[in-house]
């Protein structure tokens, strides 16, 4: 087999999406990467086995594998493709987006440490950090996204990690990642971004100085609502202890999922470009509609993070949030009148999905409690797929007439 195509040989994201991480010549001379459906790998003799162990004991990682919990060729190919797309030295594929986040937190933080994270983050992320990490003696301070004075003030001698999302979930707030990276370097604290919403097509935080990024590969990277996976990406030095930690915990991803990810990432650039266009067109339509109160989308000039997004992003994404005029009853009537988007809590795939955030993500809260944390009963999150924008707009228009 010839060598893998290296990231620096591929200049543009569309080409990387198709080719990065693959061998030029594959087993059996197949065009598509095969699924290596095996848990265990063999050695021809003891000398070969000893050489493998000695190489790995000294940190020399090659394409040889020993046991499935520590690596698989199909998984390695998916990791290499994501690393290339993110311009990262390496990447780790795990079982889900939450696994990517939580394994990283658990690996980097220990009793007595402190983490600073921004608000408007995914609810389950905050829940893990604020409720579960506390059990292990890790303290957390939550600061408003974009308030760098509060961020700087929150940093202590015990602070080991600064964490944020961009764009955030569900208000699509945009973080100045370059500024976060500068704070981290100056204060000697690692920085970490959940880049699921941005995708490596629209934003590559590592290029702005961020240390670690994570993805819920379930969303845009897979792109077809048919898998669960996560990625962690960064430098070899930063990710080496995380990879070793995951090998001990065992929350790996399987080769079949890696195969689906490889296939999904081949069309990532095309899909995201279409979703960017759909997001912009639908956001502009909703912003001008009399039955809509507010729209949150970084591509709108009225969005408070628009200028930051314009400077650091290649596109504004396929997710937007908005409020319908009226309350829960009117919003439910609008949702039930839609014919194209499905009611679903996910995002990033080929089909458009819509979520009533209070009823789905915060169903355990009363309307008063939900409103107190900024989630009113008329608040909707819409993830655009790759349907035609005109059809989506027509469907939204007819449904808004029912409000």
Is residue 45 in a domain?
no
Q: Are residues 172 and 315 in the same domain?
A: no
pTM above 0.75, yes or no: yes
Q: Are residues 251 and 374 in the same domain?
A: no
- Residue 387 sits in a domain of what CATH number? 3.90.1150.10
Average pLDDT value for the chain: 94
Beta-strand runs (E) in 268-309:
292-296
Asked if 139 and 115 touch (Cβ cutoff 8 Å), the reply is yes
Kindly list the distances between the CA atom of residue 76 and the CA atoms of 38, 68, 79, in Å, as whole numbers in the listed order.
Answer: 14, 11, 5
Is residue 25 in a domain?
yes
- Residue 217 sits in a domain of what CATH number? 3.40.640.10
Point out the domain boundary residue: 242, 266, 290.
Answer: 266
Q: Are residues 172 and 30 in the same domain?
A: yes
Q: Are residues 201 and 294 in the same domain?
A: no
* pLDDT mean over 151-172: 97
186-206 per-position pLDDT tens digit: 999 999 999 999 999 999 999
Task: Name the domain count of the chain.
Answer: 2
Q: Are residues 156 and 240 in the same domain?
A: yes
Could you give the percent of the chain with pLDDT greater than 70? 96
Is residue 287 in a domain?
yes
Q: Which domain holds residue 315?
A: 268-400
Q: Are residues 381 and 320 in the same domain?
A: yes
301-337 per-position pLDDT tens digit: 999 999 999 999 999 999 999 999 999 999 999 999 9
Q: Is 391 helix (H, G, I), strand (E, B) or coil?
A: helix
43-89 per-position pLDDT tens digit: 999 999 999 998 888 766 567 899 999 999 999 999 999 999 999 99
Is residue 169 in a domain?
yes
Point out the domain boundary residue: 266, 293, 311.
Answer: 266
Is residue 54 in a domain?
no
Q: Are residues 160 and 282 in the same domain?
A: no
Identify the pLDDT of residue 2. 46
Is residue 232 in a domain?
yes
Is residue 53 in a domain?
no
Kindly list the distances between the CA atom of residue 326 and the CA atoms of 31, 89, 205, 312, 377, in Å, as whole numbers in the listed order.
Answer: 54, 49, 38, 35, 9
Is residue 202 in a domain?
yes
Q: How is residue 65 written in tokens?
A: 């594998």
Asked if 386 and 271 touch (Cβ cutoff 8 Å), the reply is yes
Point out the domain boundary residue: 209, 233, 266.
Answer: 266
* Number of neighbours of residue 55 by Cβ within 10 angstroms: 13
Q: Are residues 256 and 292 in the same domain?
A: no
* Number of neighbours of residue 325 by Cβ within 10 angstroms: 15
């Amino acid at each position: 087999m010839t060598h893998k195509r290296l990231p620096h040989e591929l200049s543009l994201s569309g080409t990387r999406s198709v080719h990065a991480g693959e061998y030029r010549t594959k087993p059996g001379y197949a065009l598509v990467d095969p699924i290596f459906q095996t848990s265990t790998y063999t050695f021809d003799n003891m000398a070969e086995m000893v050489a493998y162990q000695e190489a790995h004991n000294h940190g020399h990682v090659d394409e040889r594998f020993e046991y499935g919990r520590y690596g698989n060729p199909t998984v390695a190919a998916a990791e290499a493709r994501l690393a290339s797309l993110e311009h990262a030295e390496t990447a780790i594929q795990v079982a889900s987006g939450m696994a990517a986040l939580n394994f990283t937190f658990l690996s980097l933080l220990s009793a007595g440490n402190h983490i600073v994270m921004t608000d408007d983050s995914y609810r389950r992320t905050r829940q893990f950090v604020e409720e579960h990490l506390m059990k292990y003696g890790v303290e957390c301070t939550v600061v408003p996204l974009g308030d760098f004075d509060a961020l700087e003030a929150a940093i202590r001698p015990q602070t080991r990690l600064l964490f944020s999302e961009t764009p955030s979930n569900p208000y699509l707030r945009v973080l100045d990642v370059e500024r976060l990276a500068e704070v981290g370097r100056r204060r000697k604290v690692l920085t970490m971004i959940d880049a699921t919403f941005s995708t490596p097509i629209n934003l590559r935080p590592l290029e702005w100085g961020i240390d670690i990024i994570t993805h819920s590969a379930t969303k845009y990277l897979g792109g077809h609502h048919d898998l669960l996976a996560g990625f962690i990406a960064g430098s070899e030095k930063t990710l080496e202890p995380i990879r070793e930690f995951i090998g001990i915990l065992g929350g790996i991803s399987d080769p079949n999922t890696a195969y689906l990810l490889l296939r999904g990432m081949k069309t990532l650039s095309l899909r995201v470009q279409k979703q960017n266009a759909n997001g912009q067109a639908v956001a502009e339509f909703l912003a001008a509609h009399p039955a809509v109160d507010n729209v949150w989308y970084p591509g709108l000039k009225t969005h408070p993070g628009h200028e930051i997004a314009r400077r650091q992003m290649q596109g504004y994404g396929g997710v937007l949030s908005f409020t319908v005029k009226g309350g829960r009853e009117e919003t439910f009537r609008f949702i039930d009148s839609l014919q194209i988007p499905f009611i679903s809590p996910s995002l990033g795939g080929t089909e458009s999905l819509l979520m009533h955030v209070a009823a789905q993500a915060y169903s355990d809260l009363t309307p008063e409690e939900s409103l107190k944390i900024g989630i009113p009963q008329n608040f909707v999150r819409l993830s655009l797929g790759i349907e035609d924008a005109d059809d989506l707009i027509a469907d939204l228009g007819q449904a808004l007439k029912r409000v």
